[in-house]
Structure 1
Amino acid sequence: MSTPQDVPIRDEPIRIGQFLKLANLAADGGHARELLEAGVVTVNGELEYRRGAQLHRGDVVAVDGVAVRPS
């Protein structure tokens, strides 16, 4: 997995679907949902399936080996 890239967020917490779009890992909300349902998204090393999961600064989100974190 790559070293996590920081993605600035304005408000905390942020929902994972919103964050995936902000980090350019998902094209839109539908794509974010598809990624989550497919089981390819991890948060801090654990699989995440919930679209409404809340992220905080420092959480590491990974999709297909690309890691990002809200900062």
Structure 2
Amino acid sequence: MDVQIYTPYITLGQLLKMADIVSSGGEVKGFLEDEQVLVNGQPEQRRGRKLYPGDQITILGKQYEIRAK
């Protein structure tokens, strides 16, 4: 699934909210502690991780790719 962004980057926490995986920023930390998230094939637990166009993120078995608009 492509995620269109209008800024140079978004954070992992913002992606989780955009994809309706969490409903608020307060849920992000707990989600990342409980679930494995991969950014470009590497495990990631930092909610502030910057995601740039071309990055591939795997969350709950779904693949997301950041695209510049």
Greater alpha carbon shift after TM alignment, 28-37 vs 59-68: 28-37
State whether residues 35 and 60 of structure 2, in contact with CA within 8 Å, keep that contact through their aligned partners in structure 1: no
Q: Of 25, 28, 51, which aligns to 2:24?
A: 28
TM-score by length of 1: 0.80
Q: Which amino acid aligns with 2:50?
A: Q
State whether residues 37 and 49 of structure 1, in contact with CA within 8 Å, keep that contact through their aligned partners in structure 2: yes
TM-score by length of 2: 0.82
State the percentage of identical aligned residues.
Answer: 37
1:19 aligns with 2:40: no
Unpaired segments of 5 or more residues in structure 1? none
More strand by share: 2
Unpaired segments of 5 or more residues in structure 2? none
Number of equivalenced pairs: 67
Q: RMSD value over aligned CA atoms?
A: 1.3
Residue 19 of structure 1 deviates from its aligned partner by 1.3
1:43 aligns with 2:39: yes
Residue 24 of structure 1 deviates from its aligned partner by 2.1
